[in-house]
Structures are given as C-alpha cells and as structure tokens.
A and B are shown apart, each in its own frame.
Chain A
Amino acid sequence: MERRKILLSEDEIPRQWYNVLADIKMNPPLGPDGQPISPDMLAPVFPMNIIEQEVSQQRWIDIPEEVLNIYAIWRPTPLIRATGLEKALGTPARIYYKYEGTSPPGSHKPNTAVPQAYYNKVFGIKRLTTETGAGQWGSALAFACSQFGLECKVYMVRISFDQKPYRKTMMQTWGASCIPSPSTETQAGRDILAKFPDTPGSLGIAISEAVEAAVSDTSGNTRYALGSVLNHVMLHQTIIGLEARKQLEKIGEYPDAIIGCAGGGSNFAGLAFPFVLDKFNGKKVDIHPVEPAACPSLTQGPFAYDHGDTAGYTPLMAMHSLGHTFVPPPMHAGGLRYHGMAPTVSQLVVEGLLDPKAYGQMATFEAGLLAARTEGIIPAPETNHALAAVVDLARQAREEGKAKVILFNWSGHGLIDLGSYEKYLSGQIKDFDFPAQDIEDAKKILAEYPKPQIIRSR
C-alpha cells in the first residue's frame, strides 16, 4: 500500500501561531480625517485581548492550552499526497494538500472561531454575535461557542435562513440561536422591516444587527466576532501552514510551490504565512494566492489608498483595488470575489513575496471535478481555484520534466455547496477575460488618489 497521509500526533501540534506583522511593515488604516484608526475604537465589538492580537508585532504568539484542547478534536489535520491527481495529470510533481475539511463544520473557519471564542470567554464575555450568509462562518462560531459555554447569536440573512436549513440546523444543534435577519431584535432590523416588511435581508443588514447587538448590551457581556480579513484571523489560521511544514519535514520534503485560494485571504494566509517567514529567512519557494481571472483586484489591480465608497468619505486603507470611481465592465466571478484582500496579503504582493495567479471559472471547475474523481473529496468551490493553479503547475512540471513539490490548501469540502457544481455540469458557467484596457483605465482613475508609501520590509 502506498502511503498517502502524513500525520502528526496530537503532541506534535504547533504551540504558537506565527504573526506576519512582526516581519512586514504596513500602512495603517486611516479614518476620514486622515488619521490612523486607533485600536480602542474597536473595543465596543472586540475584547481587548483580541484587539491586542490585531495590532501585535510579536512574531510568535502562544496558543492557549484551552484552544489546543479544542483544536485536538480535528487537528492536526492530515497532509495528503494527491497520488490520484498526480497520476491523472501524468506529472512528475509531488502534490500534497492540507485537508481542512475534517473540522466539525467542514472548513478552515473554526481555526479562528475557536480562539476567538476562547479569548472572549477569558475576557468575561458571555455572548457572541455574528452575521452569516449561507452559514459557513456562523456554524464555525456556533461550534466554537459550544465548546466554551458561550451563548452565540447568529444573524443569518433571511433568504439563506429559508433556503439553507442544514447550516441553520448545525448552528442550533451546537446550541446557537440562529435568527433570520432582518429581525425585530435590533433597531437596525426594525428600521429595515418598517420600510421593507418582506425583505429577504442582506449581509450588510445582518452585520449591522450583529454589531448593534454587541454594542447595545449595556451589561458589557456581548461582543462580536468576524471570520475573515482582519489580522488576528490570519494569525489564528497559521496553524495550517505550521502543521504542514512539520509534516513535510517528517518525510524530508520542502515545497517548491505553495498555493491557496485568496478570497478574504484567511485560508491562503493560513497555509502560506509560515512559508513566507521561511522566504524572509532565505528559503526559495514560490507562493501563489489564486483568485478568479475575472476579478483582477489582486492579480492586476494597482495598490493604492482606495476610498471605500462612492462619496469618498469613509476611511482609507491600503488595499489592492480598482478604485472607487472605476466602472467595471460586465464580468463573471465566482465565490472568491471580494473587493478587499486582507491587508497583510496585499502588502506581501507589493513586496514581491507572493506571485498571484488567476483562473477562469471553467478551469476551476474542471480542476475541481478532476480532483473529486481522483482524490475522492468534493472540494468547496473556493478550493477549486487553488486546484486550477495546482493542475497548471503540475502540467508545467511535466513539460519541463521537473519533479517539483507542490503544496496547497484544500480549505473545505463542497457537500453543502453542490448548487455551483450543478451549474457547471449543466453548462451554465462561462469564462470571461478582463480587458487589459479597463485595467489601464482604472490605473488612470486611481492616479488622482493619495498613494501610500510603498514600504519594503526587507
């Protein structure tokens, strides 16, 4: 029998997260007055121990024993040699994936939900609120809160609440209160319902409700939790890459290429940041965040301070973007499309430490189906973007006759998102290439806006 899985024992789980902020210099987020947003401005929604992590420059941060105890339910996750995929591609490359679909909710999200619940608990918080769309993040937080005896209230967008009974049931099974948003429990919800009684809700409304529920609890017992983009979320996710590095060491391998899908950045960062540290220390490794080809915010967009809204009155933040007056041409994009990438990922792209890649929807679903039929696991749709890059590099290795080592993050399973597979299989998904001229036009528009100083960390 050929060996497919490289496992760590529970004793071998990393005891510290890696904080990339110790090794890069960042432009701070700015307020409308041009001044940096101070950490204490977030105190109404986050406990101070999480805010401290959000701004910490400490390279290694201890993972509390209580968090490790919960991680041990599904961690360390397996590192798996994709021998079936290798054979199907006829590549000399050795392909490994870190499978995060083994967590109770089926994705990487609990890697941060668990510590967030823990830090709130030790800060004395009794209740967490959050918003969720179809329920991936909400179910992760519900699971985490159940482990620490915290109340959890999830504002689930009404349309998803009605359409996705399984995620809602998962949350309720873990003891969370999952209510449709807008609700009558917050003023934000009541205001919307007064104007639009039959509204199906939106993420924007759900976030407003979750934040209001935290802010308006005068007892101080409620806070809010967020599952993407922020620095402390990236920090917690580094457990993925730290485990993977240990697992590869066990078999005497080191990756030539590391790949992760880059939505808000957390599952990419989770795998990649520990290897970015190696790169800082002289290791040669190519690191590829992957996004849809039709969404050039990371792969082709300029790096600038971009106003967050059309009026230009909201705070500014250094981000990859196309600029707020940019009128996009019609384009199709899949589940990874976020305008804002995590600032830390953006910074690493600017510094040339990451080499972003982009693939069209057809390539991603072709890769996803190939992986499902060779490795057996149906990938989450966002994982398919990473898989498209894996297939590309593996074929390149075949053409070059190089036995490269490729590592990627299989961020979750797709068993609760089969609708997108159905659309692909029925021929309803098409590719679109973003016109180069439009990128040039966007750059011209952004030329009017204040530019951040391009900081080099090395």
Chain B
Amino acid sequence: MTHDHNPLSRRCPRLGGPVGFKYCMSGEGEHPCAKVVDCWWETFDIVQYLRDNLSADQFDRVLNARPRPKVASLVELIAQARKRQDV
C-alpha cells in the first residue's frame, strides 16, 4: 500500500475532531472507514487510490458500505457481546 497521502489531515465528521488520512484507512482495524471517499475526494483521487491499494473485495466493501439502522445495530451488538461472554 502506498502511503504518500498519510501526512494529510482533516476534520472527521463522525468523531468531530481532526484525523490523518492514515486513520481513515485503518481506523476500523482491518478496513478503511466507510466514509473515506466522502471525506477525501476533494483532496486527491481517492477512488483511484483505493483501486490501486485495496483488493477487489476490500474496494467493494468500502464503496458499498452502509451504516446499520440504529435499533437493528444495537440488537446485533447485544448478541455479539453475549457471544463473547460465552466463549
């Protein structure tokens, strides 16, 4: 993965504070933030950057990602938390 954009920074609309581009690419651990395209298109060709640096699956995941409805998301998080406690 190329890192030439890592020094860039901007305000993250989700967090409400400044983040570097590197954070947007790795903040979720294994995956770039779903909003990375929304946030960086003005600064450089983020779509091409993602095509060049992500697998096809990763690229699709980022470009098609959608947050879950909140109630449904909570129910899912409860189930996940219970599962972790059972392990």
Contacts and interface: CB of A to CB of B under 8 A. Distances in A.
Interface residues of A, number: 77
Nearest to B33: A202
Contact of A212 (B30, B40, B61, B81): B81
Contacts of A314: 68-69, 72-73, 76
A343 B69 CA distance: 9
Interface string A327-347: 111111111111110010000
Contact of A317 (B29, B30, B72, B84): B72
Q: How many B residues touch the partner, as a band?
A: 35 or more
Contacts of A159: 15, 17, 19, 23, 27
A336 B15 contact: no
A324 interface: yes
A328 B78 contact: no
Interface stretch (A1-9, A119-127, A203-211, A365-373): A203-211
A134 B15 contact: yes
B66 interface: yes
Nearest to A195: B29
A326 B78 contact: no
A29 interface: yes
A196 interface: yes
- With most chain B CB atoms within 10 A of its CB, the pick from A229, A294, A332, A338 is A332
Contacts of A41: 75, 78
Contacts of B71: 29, 37, 42, 230, 315, 317
Contact of B75 (A42, A295, A319): A42
B15 A160 contact: yes
A127 to B, nearest CB: 16
15 contacts: A29-B71, A45-B78, A211-B77, A211-B81, A315-B76, A333-B13, A335-B11, A336-B13, A339-B67, A343-B69, A417-B11, A419-B11, A419-B18, A420-B11, A423-B11
A-B pairs, 10 with minimum CB distance: A330-B41, A134-B16, A315-B72, A133-B15, A317-B69, A308-B68, A212-B81, A134-B17, A187-B84, A215-B81
Given A31-B72, A330-B46, 17 more contacts: A37-B72, A41-B75, A188-B80, A196-B26, A202-B27, A202-B29, A212-B84, A216-B81, A308-B69, A315-B76, A330-B41, A332-B41, A335-B13, A337-B35, A340-B70, A419-B18, A428-B10
